[in-house]
């Protein structure tokens, strides 16, 4: 009865969903990819999968795609005869995933519309489906199970903010949750929460966070020199990278940078909006502030930046390189209540980080960063300026925070191996 009602409702919701995706794609200057979202994959693309068993991994957007990378590497190494399909929901996620050498095919995840789901499952014929974090789609999960395809939830998490919402909708989610072959949650708290929502206790376990298994990418002196030259940034500047910033944060960062540049004569800012389509909006803020800047997409190859200038990054997929060449990082999404972003990225580069109070989407990681002394949490823009000033003037403090971050990464790895033990049961 539930699935009958769900599919009747999906017929009424299909048009609004299509309109929303069309608006979202057009407003961001990207193709809507309706063909794939309705489950039709070009035969030429499918050719690479023929004669091989297929593992399908789904990662919604950029964060999930990056978190999936250690798992993709392990899958490719342990199952070289299998083809790997990676699907994404967002355009930015697709952009990141398409660069992964481990995948054989990258597609958009279908709408949870029964004909679309049936079509794509029939075309790809996976022997295993891995869903990153917490994507729960009733039709997709049911149809996969009906076809005898095991579905594993990997790196699952239930944030503080979303837990109450999931609980209220437990009557909706429990139908799909009961169909998962295994649910691998990041922490024991996440495990308890998803069981409360409706997941089967006996198939749910805590396996750790895959994000701790991202490769350490500490740049040597020569590598840092090469990276800085590739972005036309002089070697002698102290680089502050503000990564994954959101509306409401950039102005604080710009104001802070102007104040600090007045006293620190060798400072340089790299500003990386979370969504590249906001780069024009951020460029206006820079213009109004009087700062000289260049966009990443229009860098000349032979004109070096000067101190006090700004690199505005209007591309995706370069965050780890940018952290690697930096001296200090501000992790955005944390001065405004959006839940924060991944502190492990600067930590894996051995770079000192500063972040704001709004880190609800990364509560476990935040606690660990503070426990290890791998970063500084601030409550206000004024505290951000003060902490940045301290880090700019203390090479030793930057070094200690960076080393603490690397130790944290080494001490808390192993989630990939635990996930692979679960996955091996189905391959």
**Residues classed as catalytic:** 64
Cα–Cα distance, 73 to 102 (Å, whole number): 6
Contact 318, 297 (CB under 8 A): no
Phi then psi for residue 366, to 5 deg, are: -60, -45
Enter the tokens of residue 239: 């680089």
The torsion defined by the Cα of 108, 114, 115 and 121, in degrees rounded to 10, comes to 60
């Amino acid at each position: 009865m539930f699935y009958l009602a769900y599919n009747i409702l999906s017929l009424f919701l299909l048009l609004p969903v299509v309109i929303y995706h069309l608006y979202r794609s057009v407003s961001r200057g990207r193709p809507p990819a309706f063909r794939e979202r309705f489950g039709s994959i070009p035969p030429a693309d499918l050719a690479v999968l023929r004669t091989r068993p297929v593992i399908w991994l789904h990662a919604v957007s950029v964060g999930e795609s990056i978190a999936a990378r250690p798992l993709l590497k392990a899958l490719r190494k342990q199952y070289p005869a299998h083809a790997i399909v990676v699907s994404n929901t967002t355009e930015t996620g697709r952009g990141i995933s398409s660069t992964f050498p481990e995948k054989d095919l990258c597609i958009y995840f279908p709408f949870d519309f029964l004909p679309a789901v049936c079509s794509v499952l029939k075309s790809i014929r996976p022997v295993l489906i891995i869903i990153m974090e917490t994507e729960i789609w009733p039709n997709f999960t049911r149809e996969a199970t009906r076809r005898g395809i095991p579905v594993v939830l990997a790196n699952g998490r239930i944030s503080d903010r979303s837990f109450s919402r999931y609980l209220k909708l437990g009557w909706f989610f429990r139908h799909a949750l009961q169909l998962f072959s295994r649910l691998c949650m990041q922490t024991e708290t996440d495990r308890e929460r998803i069981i409360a929502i409706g997941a089967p206790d006996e198939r749910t376990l805590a396996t750790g966070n895959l994000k701790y298994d991202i490769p350490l990418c500490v740049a040597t002196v020569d590598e840092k020199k090469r990276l800085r030259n590739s972005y036309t940034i002089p070697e002698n500047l102290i680089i502050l990278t503000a990564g994954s910033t959101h509306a409401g944060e950039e102005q604080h960062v710009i104001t802070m940078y102007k104040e600090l540049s007045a006293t620190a004569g060798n400072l340089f800012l790299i500003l990386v909006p979370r969504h590249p389509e906001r780069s024009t909006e951020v460029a206006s803020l820079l213009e109004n502030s009087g700062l000289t800047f260049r966009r990443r997409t229009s860098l000349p190859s032979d004109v070096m930046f000067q101190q006090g200038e700004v690199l505005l990054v209007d591309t995706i997929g370069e965050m780890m390189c940018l952290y690697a060449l930096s001296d200090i990082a501000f992790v955005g999404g944390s001065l405004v209540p959006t839940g924060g972003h991944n502190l492990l990225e600067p930590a894996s580069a051995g770079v000192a980080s500063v972040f704001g109070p709004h880190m609800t989407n990364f509560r476990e990681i935040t606690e660990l960063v503070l426990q290890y002394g791998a970063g500084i949490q601030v409550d206000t823009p004024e505290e951000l300026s003060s902490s940045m000033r301290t880090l700019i003037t203390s090479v030793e403090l930057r070094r200690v925070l960076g080393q603490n971050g690397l130790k944290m990464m080494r001490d808390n790895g192993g989630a990939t191996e635990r996930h692979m033990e679960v996955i091996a049961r189905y391959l």
